[in-house]
Amino acid sequence: MEAKLLKKRTPADSDLTVGTIVDKVLMFAIPLMMTSMLQQLFNATDVAVVGKFASKEAMAAVGSNSPVISLLVNFFVGISVGANVLISRSIGAKNDAKARSTVGTAMALAIAAGVFVAVVGNLIAAPIIDLLGVPAEVRSYSITYLRIYFSGVPFIMLYNFESAIFRSNGNTKTPLISLFVGGVFNVVANLFFVLVLKMDVDGVAIATVMANAISSMMLLYALCKEESVIHVDLKKIRINKNELSVILRIGVPAGLQSAVFSISNICVQSAINSLGADYMAASSAAFNLEIFAFFVVNSFTQTLVTFVGQNYGAGKYDRCREVVRKTLLVSWVFTMVISALLLLTARPLLGLFTNEPFVIEAGLIRIKCLLYAETLNVLMDNLSGAMRGLGKSLVPAVTTLICVCGIRIIWVFTGFQIYHTWLSIMLVFPVSWAVNATFIVIGYIRTRNRMLIAPMQAQQN
Dump the DSSP string for 124-149.
HHHHHHHHTT--HHHHHHHHHHHHHH
What are the sequence ranges of the domains in the chain?
9-460
Compute the average pLDDT of residues 79-107: 87
Q: Are 310 and 94 in contact (CB under 8 A)?
A: no
pLDDT band for position 323 (50/70/90)? very high
> Which has the higher per-residue pLDDT, 447 or 141?
447
* pLDDT confidence of residue 2: 43
* pLDDT confidence of residue 57: 66
For all residues of the chain together, what is the average pLDDT?
A: 85
Nearest-10 crossing angle of helices 357-371, 277-313: 30
pLDDT band for position 43 (50/70/90)? low
Closest CA to 250 of 150, 55, 153, 387: 387
Compute the average pLDDT of residues 4-10: 49
Compute the average pLDDT of residues 72-93: 82
Helices (H), 54-152: 56-64, 66-92, 96-131, 136-151
How many whole angstroms separate alpha carbon 265 and alpha carbon 433? 13
* pLDDT confidence of residue 252: 85
- The DSSP output letter for 170 is T
Compute the average pLDDT of residues 247-270: 80
Q: Model confidence over 196-230: pLDDT tens digits?
A: 887 778 888 898 899 999 999 999 999 999 888 88
> Which has the higher per-residue pLDDT, 258 or 106?
106
pTM: 0.78
How many whole angstroms separate alpha carbon 117 and alpha carbon 112? 9
325 pLDDT higher than 90 = yes
DSSP letter string over 306-348?
HHHHHHHHTT-HHHHHHHHHHHHHHHHHHHHHHHHHHHHHHHH
Q: Say whether 315 sits in a helix, a strand or coil.
A: coil
Buried b (16+ CB within 10 A) or exposed e, 435-452: bbbebbeebbeebbeebb
How many whole angstroms separate alpha carbon 17 and alpha carbon 14? 9
Q: Are 113 and 252 in contact (CB under 8 A)?
A: no
Q: Say whether 250 sits in a helix, a strand or coil.
A: helix
Q: Model confidence over 124-148: pLDDT tens digits?
A: 888 888 877 777 777 788 888 888 9
Worst-scoring range by mean pLDDT, 3-7, 28-32, 234-238?
A: 3-7
Closest CA to 209 of 150, 284, 158: 150
* pLDDT confidence of residue 384: 92
* pLDDT confidence of residue 6: 45
- How many residues are present in the chain? 461
Q: Are 304 and 389 in contact (CB under 8 A)?
A: yes
Q: Model confidence over 358-412: pLDDT tens digits?
A: 889 999 999 999 999 999 999 999 999 999 888 888 888 888 888 888 898 899 8
